[in-house]
Amino acid sequence: MPAKRLSMRKIKEVLRLWFDQGLPCRAIARSCSINHRTVTQYVQRFKDSGLPWPLPEDLDDTGLDLKLFPRKARTHTERSCQMPDMRFLHQELRRPGVTLDRLWEEYRERAPQGYSRSRFYYRYRQWAKRLHPTLRQEHKAGEKLFVDYAGKKPQIVNPQTGEITEVELFVGCLGASSYTYAEVTLTQSLPEWIGAHIRMFEFFGAVPSILVPDNLKSAITRACRYEPDINPTYQDVAEHYGFVVIPARSGKARDKAKVESAVQIAERWILGGLRDQTFFSLAELNKAILTVLERLNTRKFQKVDVSRKDLFEHIDRPAMKPLPLIRYEYGEWRKAKVNIDYHIEVASNYYSVPFSLIHKHVEARLTAATVEIWYQGKRIASHLRLYGKGRHQTIESHRPPSHQTYLEWTPERILAWGAKTGPWTASLMEQVMARKRHPEQGFRSCLGILRLGQKYGPQRLEHACRRAVAIQGHSYTSVQSILKRGLDTQPLPPSPSQQEILPLFHSNIRGKDYYQ
């Protein structure tokens, strides 16, 4: 069994690459940033489980976990003679004062029945001999596409202010033919990174089997909210277009030598060829880049009488996959917790889920038009995306019968809590819920108002609610602002009937007689 259990998302990705893509274990391991032995073990577990591929639609993550990892008690223990991880030993030996003898002694303390000193030395030295081999990379037709951003940046000029803005030069290069694509984007953010990929595939008219990016955060991140390695949105793109992401190893320039060369050539041709021209927009600069790319890709190599485009048409393109019928729709993943009102907060708005998921953690995928909500690998809700702040969207079937007795969260109970503070607090909370389409949508604001009493005290909260009712500030933020500014201690503003009517006679008012 692997030392560390992988997430269900990554296990499914391993199985997809094995069954759908037919990749070997080591390629899958590099794509998923795991050990190749782990890949072998998970594939074998899946085969032993008897499950079909593709997985049944009604099988959720919990069911798959039980099939792959049946709950069985171990009946025996076995003596471990395994070597420590060789890469760990290699890294430790670089530290001051660390010797192979010290590492062997620490190993024997953990595994008294392990390898002898001489055998330990021999196995490590045999492994060390294979370090840093010089590998000439031979790229298969249509297999790899290398992508990266150039270090040197083009510029665009604001026609109104003359302000100069540096933009990013995105470059993609096919391994076998060196056929090159380039465009400029405003930043290296995730939406622009994904958009550049989509336009690049459409430029090629086909998709490779493997994509090799650098380790920029838009593609490969170690601190992603939903996944520690490949960004979930980038993984969605890979699944949509049917390619595998195998990032270049950090600090290993040989892994991406092809794109490093392409970036250098693109900088010379694009930045050098367009250096005397001024561009006022991204569209204008990208149009000029396409003209330069046409000359670059149709220009023949120095040592062979063939161009990049010729090689692409005869070698790469026939071996590449066709574009899918539907263009990828950009979407970002967010993690959320279902609140007591059976809604989740995503991008400052609220969307309902089945009430049975109260207090559960779910994932939401946001596109320009929709918000899809997933739980344990299954989509449980889909909403039209709302824009602005504080808006609600509720599907009637998600509401509990009779507003559910789950934990007895009812409008009456909320108002009873408010009445303990005072009548004005209860009155304000009643008005907050009355302004919502469903009373449950006001629970969150009411609970926030009550929590302000813990910080400012019930007496100040009651006075603040009285003022909020008077000025029709029916929201948590209004009460919070009143308390922060100390307005709860000030006299209430007069009502319109109490306001004094200003005199119509004033030294600055000329009157009708002036015009006669």
pLDDT (0 to 100) of residue 226: 42
CA-to-CA distance for 232 and 218, rounded, in angstroms?
10
Average confidence (pLDDT) over 326-330:
86
The beta-strand segments (E) located in 91-159 are: 144-149, 155-157
CA-to-CA distance for 295 and 291, rounded, in angstroms?
7
- The type of residue at 430 is E
pLDDT (0 to 100) of residue 404: 47
pLDDT (0 to 100) of residue 81: 61
Q: 168: which strand partners? A: 185
- The candidate with the shortest Cα–Cα distance to 411, out of 381, 433, 386, is 433
How many helices, marked H, and strands, marked E, lie in the chain? 19, 14
Average confidence (pLDDT) over 426-436:
85
The yes-or-no verdict on residue 418 having pLDDT over 80 is: yes
Per-residue pLDDT band for 334 (boundaries 50, 70, 90) equals confident
pLDDT (0 to 100) of residue 84: 84
The yes-or-no verdict on residue 375 having pLDDT over 70 is: yes
Per-residue pLDDT band for 227 (boundaries 50, 70, 90) equals very low
pLDDT (0 to 100) of residue 198: 92
The yes-or-no verdict on residue 492 having pLDDT over 60 is: yes
Query: Which string of b and e fits 367-378 if b means at least 16 CB within 10 Å?
Result: eeeebbbebbbe
pLDDT (0 to 100) of residue 400: 77
pLDDT (0 to 100) of residue 512: 63
pLDDT (0 to 100) of residue 361: 92
Average confidence (pLDDT) over 402-412:
57
Sheet containing 370-375: which strands, arranged edge to edge?
332-337, 361-366, 370-375, 378-384
The yes-or-no verdict on residue 255 having pLDDT over 60 is: no
The yes-or-no verdict on residue 274 having pLDDT over 70 is: yes
Contact 368, 329 (CB under 8 A): yes
The yes-or-no verdict on residue 111 having pLDDT over 80 is: yes
Contact 297, 312 (CB under 8 A): yes
* pLDDT tens profile 8-17: 888 888 888 8
Average confidence (pLDDT) over 196-207:
92
Instruction: Out of 88-97, 258-267, 335-344, give the one with best mean pLDDT.
Output: 335-344
CA-to-CA distance for 305 and 127, rounded, in angstroms?
43
Sheet containing 343-346: which strands, arranged edge to edge?
343-346, 349-352, 392-393
Helix/strand/coil (H, E, C) string of 400-447? Answer: CHHHCCHHHCCHHHHHHHHHHHCHHHHHHHHHHHHCCCCHHHHHHHHH
- The type of residue at 276 is D
Average confidence (pLDDT) over 295-320:
82
Output DSSP code: residue 321.
B
Which run of H or of E encompasses 373? strand 370-375
Per-residue pLDDT band for 208 (boundaries 50, 70, 90) equals very high
Average confidence (pLDDT) over 79-93:
70
For the record, the structure tokens of 439 come out as: 């009373």
Per-residue pLDDT band for 253 (boundaries 50, 70, 90) equals low
pLDDT (0 to 100) of residue 58: 81
Q: Is 488 helix (H, G, I), strand (E, B) or coil?
A: helix
Contact 441, 343 (CB under 8 A): yes
pLDDT (0 to 100) of residue 148: 86
Per-residue pLDDT band for 154 (boundaries 50, 70, 90) equals confident
Instruction: Report the 10 Å Cβ neighbour count for 311.
Output: 20
CA-to-CA distance for 182 and 284, rounded, in angstroms?
14
Query: In angstroms, what is the C-alpha Rg of the chain?
Result: 32
The yes-or-no verdict on residue 213 having pLDDT over 90 is: no
Average confidence (pLDDT) over 441-456:
85
The yes-or-no verdict on residue 90 having pLDDT over 80 is: no
Average confidence (pLDDT) over 334-338:
90
The yes-or-no verdict on residue 408 having pLDDT over 60 is: no
Instruction: Report the 10 Å Cβ neighbour count for 16.
Output: 20
Lowest pLDDT segment from 115-129, 195-209, 211-225, 373-387: 211-225
Per-residue pLDDT band for 132 (boundaries 50, 70, 90) equals very low
CA-to-CA distance for 177 and 210, rounded, in angstroms?
15
- The type of residue at 83 is M
- The candidate with the shortest Cα–Cα distance to 3, out of 60, 48, 42, is 42
pLDDT (0 to 100) of residue 151: 83
pLDDT (0 to 100) of residue 448: 87
For the record, the structure tokens of 79 come out as: 């003596």
Average confidence (pLDDT) over 29-39:
88
As a whole-number percent, the residues of the chain with pLDDT over 70 amount to 81
Per-chain mean pLDDT for the chain: 81
Lowest pLDDT segment from 180-194, 223-237, 301-315, 499-513: 499-513
Instruction: Out of 54-68, 303-317, 434-448, 471-485, give the one with best mean pLDDT.
Output: 471-485
Contact 462, 424 (CB under 8 A): yes
pLDDT (0 to 100) of residue 228: 38
Lowest pLDDT segment from 28-32, 98-102, 358-362: 98-102
The yes-or-no verdict on residue 137 having pLDDT over 80 is: no
